[in-house]
Amino acid sequence: MANENQPFPKKRPWQWLIGGGLLLLAGALVHEALMVVGSGATLAYLVVGTLIGGLLVTLVRERRLRRMAEGERNAAEATLARVEQQQEALTTLNQHFINAQSEREITEALLDFIPRITEVAGVSFVPFDERERPVAAVSRGPLSSAAMDVWTEYLARPEARHRCQACEVEHSLADTRCPLTPPPSLEGLEGVREMHCQRLWCGSRQVGMITLYRYTDEPLPREISHLLDTVLAEAALRMDNLRLRRQEREAWGRLQTWRRQQDAQPLENVLLENILHIFDADFAFILLPAEGDESLHIAVLGRAPDQMRTFADGFLRSVRQTAEPVLVGNVEGLRMDKGQEGVTLLAAPLRLSDESSLGAVLVGGYPPLEFTRRHVDLMRTVAGQTALLVQNARLLPRLEHRIIRTERARLAREIHDGLAQTLGFLKLQAAQMRTFLKRGDTSRLTEALETWYATVSEAYLDVRDALDGLRLTASEGTLSYWLFQIAEEFETAAGLTVETEGLEMLDTLPPEIQIQVVRIAQEALTNVRKHAQASAVRLRAAHSLPGVLSLAICDDGRGFSPQEADVVSRHGLEGMKERAELLGADFQVVSQPGEGTCVQVRIPFKEASRA
């Protein structure tokens, strides 16, 4: 390939000898002719010779240009073949990711993928456990299991771990002092000159390290490194999706266990035991709707008269419709023994804060037990707390399931909008590049390759944004801390400065609201980076109204008109609006062509929550 790109191709010695001999023979013939003919014929020979010489020069030049064009064509074909190979490898990898049922299968697919996109002596993956300690490695290539055991033990050393965690170079040459430099005792890595490592994150946890072993001193090409970044980020999303599915199964298992425990000792029994203890009563009844339907069922605990159950069912259904406790003394016909006075009953509806009634509760006792006004006030309080306990116990499993489903839907949406769409676009670009190559249009082919590279780089940034969303939990830092982190990462990715103001006042919001606010800010900044063409960005928090906190993300970019709103809404605005609606917040987008865009979220909050 290198020889074909030289201005003049190198000739073999015998070709030079034949060419020189022919030139000498031609010179001798011309000399003889000039000696025989006159000056007129001499002039004719000179003219003909000049024309023939010019023709020969033209032929040589055409041959050289042909060879150069052929070299460029071969280079373009090689580039296209490499792009198609990477495209095919990405398609295969994505299929493996879709079908993977475990993190191990994702790891195996990664190790099979890397040798298909770049030349390596070998590749290994060292998984980390829950405490981020290296465990048994998996490898591809001429790397023995004994060598990998030594390598895993080597990475487990504190000095190597600490230096690796602080490393920003991500590659090591054999003559450097990087902890990734192979130790002399590591057999199977002879001849390896460069090692490229990249950490794999799953949420906020480091789950392993991918290491590429190479026989060259040159660092990994930038486009391959960026492609690897994108693929590893996608793998992390897939792993986190599997983790969420596993958590969903575990949550479902816990729910089933909880329900079995409830069957063994129903919630009603627990409540009745406490109510009996509070009132020092002889028996207690509770009327509640059956879970899953509106039918009412009654539970009893204690020494109640035989005829009490039938009476209590109708009595509690009536009390359920009232608003206050009901006290009834010496109920005729309800006595344990003949000659004994009737029982004393105290009942109250189980009402929630919205005045809806879940059921009713009743306590009763035999003489000399009597209920006073103090007991009535106590029953009002106990009934209210009991209603809350019943409601929370029944809402908790639904809430857990809803949270899991919501997070899975978010992950699925971000994965679908990430690698899947990027692969489809890259496939179309590869088809275009093949067409340009057949036409010999090298300029448009080069332009298409640049677009291909830019698309992969953009996908990498999108996946990084998704990973940042996965790392958010209610217990990790304050809201302002996360907003500052997001602004800093945006500055690095977009090359713009973000001005911040008043973000600390958002720290008073509840954790579940803070997470949604952070993700709204993430999506807004992603829109700025991808669509705004801005030169300045501002994040500002303020008390816009009493009891209302606002966050504004504004840029000085190109903006858009109301007629373009439907198109722009596909760029994350719908997602931000949905999150704001979950918070009961007001969401507005203010924009005009040429005057930038401002995304505003106004969040209502209770002043007491700021304490």
Query: How many residues does the structure list for the chain?
Result: 611
Question: Does the domain formed by 267-371 have CATH 3.30.70.100?
Answer: no
Q: Which of 458, 403, 454, 466 is nearest to 429 (CA)?
A: 454
- Which tens digits make up the pLDDT trace of 520-543? 898 899 888 888 889 999 999 998
Q: Are 346 and 371 in contact (CB under 8 A)?
A: yes
Q: Are 107 and 139 in contact (CB under 8 A)?
A: no
Higher pLDDT, 42 or 118: 118
Best mean pLDDT range from 101-105, 469-473, 567-571: 101-105
CATH superfamily of 119-220: GAF domain (3.30.450.40)
Q: H or E segment at 83?
A: helix 39-99
Q: Are 385 and 352 in contact (CB under 8 A)?
A: no
Q: Are 282 and 345 in contact (CB under 8 A)?
A: no
pLDDT at 598: 93
**Rounded CA separation 7/18 (Å):** 22
Own/partner pairs, 104-107, CB within 8 angstroms, 24+ separation: 106/235, 106/238, 106/239, 106/242, 107/138, 107/208
pLDDT at 543: 87
| Other CB atoms within 10 A of residue 21 CB | 10
pLDDT at 79: 76
Best mean pLDDT range from 353-362, 383-392, 596-605: 596-605
For the chain, give every residue range classified as CATH 3.30.565.10.
472-610
Asked if pLDDT for residue 479 goes beyond 80, the answer is yes
**Rounded CA separation 152/127 (Å):** 9
Higher pLDDT, 506 or 143: 506
pLDDT cut 90: percent of the chain above it: 7
CATH superfamily of 472-610: Histidine kinase-like ATPase, C-terminal domain (3.30.565.10)
Asked if pLDDT for residue 69 goes beyond 70, the answer is yes
Strands of 357-365's sheet in order across: 296-302, 283-289, 357-365, 343-351, 326-331
Asked if pLDDT for residue 355 goes beyond 50, the answer is yes
Asked if pLDDT for residue 462 goes beyond 80, the answer is no
- Which tens digits make up the pLDDT trace of 201-234? 766 667 788 888 888 877 778 888 888 888 888 8
pLDDT at 442: 80
Asked if pLDDT for residue 23 goes beyond 90, the answer is no
For the chain, give every residue range classified as CATH 3.30.450.40.
119-220, 267-371
pLDDT at 568: 43
Q: What angle do CA 195, 201, 204 make, to 5 degrees?
A: 140
Tokens of 298: 């009654």
Backbone CA torsion sign across 480, 481, 482, 486? positive
Own/partner pairs, 220-223, CB within 8 angstroms, 24+ separation: 220/118, 220/171, 220/194, 220/196, 221/118, 223/453, 223/456
Q: Are 284 and 344 in contact (CB under 8 A)?
A: no
**What is the pLDDT confidence band of residue 42, given thresholds at 50, 70 and 90?**
low
Q: Tell me the longest C-alpha to C-alpha distance in the chain.
A: 165
349: preceding bond cis by omega (within 30 degrees): no
The number of CA neighbours under 13 Å toward the Cβ of 361 is 28
**Rounded CA separation 405/416 (Å):** 16
**What is the pLDDT confidence band of residue 454, given thresholds at 50, 70 and 90?**
confident
Average pLDDT, the chain: 74
Asked if pLDDT for residue 474 goes beyond 50, the answer is no
Q: Are 322 and 349 in contact (CB under 8 A)?
A: yes
**Rounded CA separation 600/602 (Å):** 7
- Which tens digits make up the pLDDT trace of 274-288? 888 888 888 999 988
Q: Which of 23, 95, 81, 85 is nearest to 53 (CA)?
A: 23
Question: Considering only 27-36, 99-108, 354-363, 432-441, which range has the smallest mean pLDDT?
Answer: 27-36
pLDDT at 141: 76
Residue 516, C-beta contacts closer than 8 angstroms, at least 6 positions apart: 579, 580, 582, 583
Integer CA distances (angstroms), 368 to 4, 217, 348, in order = 113, 96, 22
Residue 483, C-beta contacts closer than 8 angstroms, at least 6 positions apart: 500, 503, 506, 518, 521, 539
On whether the pTM is more than 0.85, the answer is: no
**Rounded CA separation 519/471 (Å):** 11
Q: Are 161 and 155 in contact (CB under 8 A)?
A: yes
pLDDT at 9: 46
Higher pLDDT, 379 or 219: 379
Tokens of 155: 């990475």
Q: Are 529 and 461 in contact (CB under 8 A)?
A: yes
